[in-house]
Amino acid sequence: MEVVRPGSHPAQLTTLARRAELAEELGIDVFCVMPFTAEFMKLTPERYAHEILVERLHVADVVVGENFTFGKKAAGNVDLLRQIGERFGFAVDGVTLLAEHAVTFSSTYIRSCVDAGDMAAATEALGRPHRVEGVVVHGDGRGRQLGYPTANVAPPMYAAIPADGVYAAWFTVLGHGVDLGTVTSGERYMAAVSVGTNPTFSGRTRTVEAFVLDREADLYGQHVAVDLVERLRGMEKFDSVDDLIVAMGKDAERARAILAASEDVR
């Protein structure tokens, strides 16, 4: 979308690296990414199929969603792809889109769930909790002063961030072989995550802050993932810091109970 109509991009649900991981988990051996450029955009459906699918990939079978479009101005569809396939000797499978309760599980629908903070609906559609990734950066240090040290997660540009509020989530340091004392990369830990501007302290910058339960480690500079399971409450402005601390304690305990239950289900 940045190539077609700059500034009109939708929020990104999944990073490219995460998509590759998910593909690998499904047993896919090769993950090929075609850079979308102004030149690539001008390929007609016929040229796209011949130059990319036939000459470069030598495809035998193409599997796409039934609403798939391709080529210049999205002029190609599944029917046209089948016609081209008959000409060049490859099969085409148009897969019915997944739906439930008369709702199609499209990326647009999932973004609307994330925007509303409805992580249960997003999880149902995705088949996994919605993930926000980012690098842990220095914040104002207020969480530590309150007894709840948080990792301030700076997500990439365009990432799909849920509605302001507090969430139960799984926290993971990405990468391999990173030992941070009480936290090890690749292992997931329970967390309570705050998304918003910290209205009690008249904050203006929207942040994603994760309080990792029962763990304390120097996470600055680490690439981490937050898998959001359930929204605990909306963002609130408390009358006093003491009231906020009490609420944070309740949030942590609720998150612990919810995540323990979700772990039992797994």
Q: What is the pLDDT of residues 229-260, one digit of tens each?
A: 999 999 888 888 888 889 999 999 999 999 99
Question: What would the DSSP string read from start to end of 93-135?
Answer: EEEPPPEETTEE--HHHHHHHHHHT-HHHHHHHHTS-EEEEEE
The confidence band for 11, taking pLDDT boundaries of 50, 70 and 90, is very high
Q: How far apart are CA 219 and CA 58, in angstroms?
A: 45
Q: Report the candidate in 256, 258, 228 with the shortest Cα–Cα distance to residue 128.
A: 228
* Average pLDDT score over the chain: 90
For the chain, what are the domain ranges?
Answer: 34-96, 129-265
What pLDDT does 204 receive?
Answer: 66
What pLDDT does 148 receive?
Answer: 81
Instruction: Indicate whether 201 pLDDT > 70.
Output: no
Q: How far apart are CA 47 and CA 53, in angstroms?
A: 9
Instruction: Indicate whether 32 pLDDT > 70.
Output: yes
Its pTM stands at: 0.87
- The percent of residues above 90 in pLDDT, for the chain, comes to 70
Q: Scan for tokens 């495809």, then name that residue.
A: 59
Q: What is the pLDDT of residues 85-125, one digit of tens each?
A: 999 999 999 999 998 888 999 999 999 999 999 999 999 99
Instruction: Indicate whether 50 pLDDT > 80.
Output: yes
What pLDDT does 184 receive?
Answer: 86
Phi and psi at residue 152, to the nearest 5°? -85, 105
Select from 3.60.40.10, 2.40.30.30, 2.30.42.10, 3.30.70.890 the CATH code of 129-265.
2.40.30.30
